[in-house]
Amino acid sequence: MPSLEIDSLSKTYGALRALDSLSFSVGSGEIFGFVGSNGAGKSTTMRIALGVLTADSGEVRWDGRPLDLEARRRVGYMPEERGLYPKMKVGEQLVYLARLHGLTSSAATASMERWTEVLGVAGRRGDDVQKLSLGNQQRVQLAAALVHDPDVLILDEPFSGLDPVAVDVMSSVLRERADAGAPVIFSSHQLDLVERLCDRVGIIKAGSMVTLGSVAELRSSTAPRWLVDAPGAPPGWASALPGVTTLSTDGTRTVVEVGAAPDAEQAVLRAALATGPVREFAPQRPSLTDLYRHVVSHEAETTDAPGSTTVSAA
């Protein structure tokens, strides 16, 4: 099966190391969620994959061959900065872009009609792009990425600013494209969406991939978590237990992480019962947001200047 391979990409901007030997691959038919803090290097990676930017070293390959200019014509790309002509009509613009990618005039028109229909902007074909709301412009932007029936999709934050219905439309289009055999990479900060939609997730930090796998795989590499609702327990009751970490407390409910020892959670339950009745005791499945926080927890809110710290995969 062909795959898109990002192989050891490095990129510096002056003294700033934006990408540090970044590698991952996305297989045919796979949706890959590319996540990481602001400034982690996602857009830089996607721009290099598209040839908009040159890497200092490393290579991007599609189906085993370097992604040259010709192969890049087969990629559908949604840039973060978007790239539509504001004063051109939606329909004309999409036909124009499809023609640029080599479609005949009639095929380009048919494709424009199809994608504007699927993405719910058929009624706006005659409007200048600038007259559309931001969400509708984004739908057109996705149509622009799809209009030449690309083999690979690379989308930089395609979901930002979309209403829930548009998110559903966009999600089903990405799934349908992947089912048709395209590798689909998209970046997003909406981790619930990434968790729902992606076959695999890569977490990038300071230009390096720190965690890679399906959400289930990422989850299985973390210690078991338990929710304990013990109304009579004093504050911080679980923290003194050996091998137990309190992750959060919400009123009488505490989430703890226990060690890998067999029946480690039983010691927590016994300790909770020693304080009085226990209303709830249940295993917790960490969400992708929890897993992400775990990986990047000691970072500040933004990482605009990647350092050299490396976090081992959670």
Shortest distance in whole angstroms from residue 306 CB to ligand ATP = 6
Considering only residues 210 to 229 of the shown chain, the ones binding ligand ATP according to CB under 6 A are none
Here the tokens at position 165 are: 């219905």
Q: Using the minimum distance from each CB to ligand ATP, give the nearer residue, 154 or 247.
A: 154
Shortest distance in whole angstroms from residue 201 CB to ligand ATP = 14
Shortest distance in whole angstroms from residue 80 CB to ligand ATP = 6
Listed in sequence order, the DSSP H helices in the chain are: 42-50, 69-72, 90-100, 105-118, 134-146, 164-179, 191-197, 215-220, 264-273, 288-296
Q: Using the minimum distance from each CB to ligand ATP, give the nearer residue, 21 or 28.
A: 21
First to last CA, the chain: 29
Place of tokens 């960490």: 286
Q: Using the minimum distance from each CB to ligand ATP, give the nearer residue, 13 or 85.
A: 13
Here the tokens at position 222 are: 């973390």
Shortest distance in whole angstroms from residue 83 CB to ligand ATP = 16
DSSP string, 23-75: EEEEETT-EEEEEESTTSSHHHHHHHHHTSS--SEEEEEETTEE--HHHHTTE
9 binds ligand ATP (CB under 6 A): no
Q: Using the minimum distance from each CB to ligand ATP, give the nearer residue, 248 or 310.
A: 310
> What is the size of the binding site for ligand ATP (CB under 6 A)?
15
Shortest distance in whole angstroms from residue 52 CB to ligand ATP = 11
Considering only residues 294 to 313 of the shown chain, the ones binding ligand ATP according to CB under 6 A are 304-306
Place of tokens 């070293």: 57
Q: Using the minimum distance from each CB to ligand ATP, give the nearer residue, 42 or 72.
A: 42
Per-residue x/- marks for ligand ATP, 66-105, CB under 6 A?
--------------x-------------------------
**Do 286 and 302 meet the contact criterion of CB atoms below 8 Å apart?**
no
Q: What is the CA radius of gyration of the chain?
A: 23
Q: Using the minimum distance from each CB to ligand ATP, give the nearer residue, 158 or 306.
A: 306
Considering only residues 30 to 69 of the shown chain, the ones binding ligand ATP according to CB under 6 A are 36, 38-44
Residue whose C-alpha is closest to residue 63's, from 142, 4, 128: 4
Q: Using the minimum distance from each CB to ligand ATP, give the nearer residue, 7 or 128.
A: 7
Q: Using the minimum distance from each CB to ligand ATP, give the nearer residue, 40 or 129.
A: 40
Considering only residues 11 to 30 of the shown chain, the ones binding ligand ATP according to CB under 6 A are 13, 16, 18
CB under 8 A, 24+ apart: contacts of 24-29? 24/202, 24/209, 24/212, 26/183, 26/184, 26/185, 26/200, 27/1, 27/2, 27/3, 27/183, 28/1, 28/2, 28/3, 28/181, 28/182, 28/183, 29/1, 29/178, 29/179, 29/181, 29/182, 29/183
Shortest distance in whole angstroms from residue 111 CB to ligand ATP = 29
Shortest distance in whole angstroms from residue 126 CB to ligand ATP = 33
Residue whose C-alpha is closest to residue 187's, from 44, 21, 84: 44
Shortest distance in whole angstroms from residue 226 CB to ligand ATP = 33
Residues that bind ligand ATP (CB under 6 A): 13, 16, 18, 36, 38-44, 80, 304-306
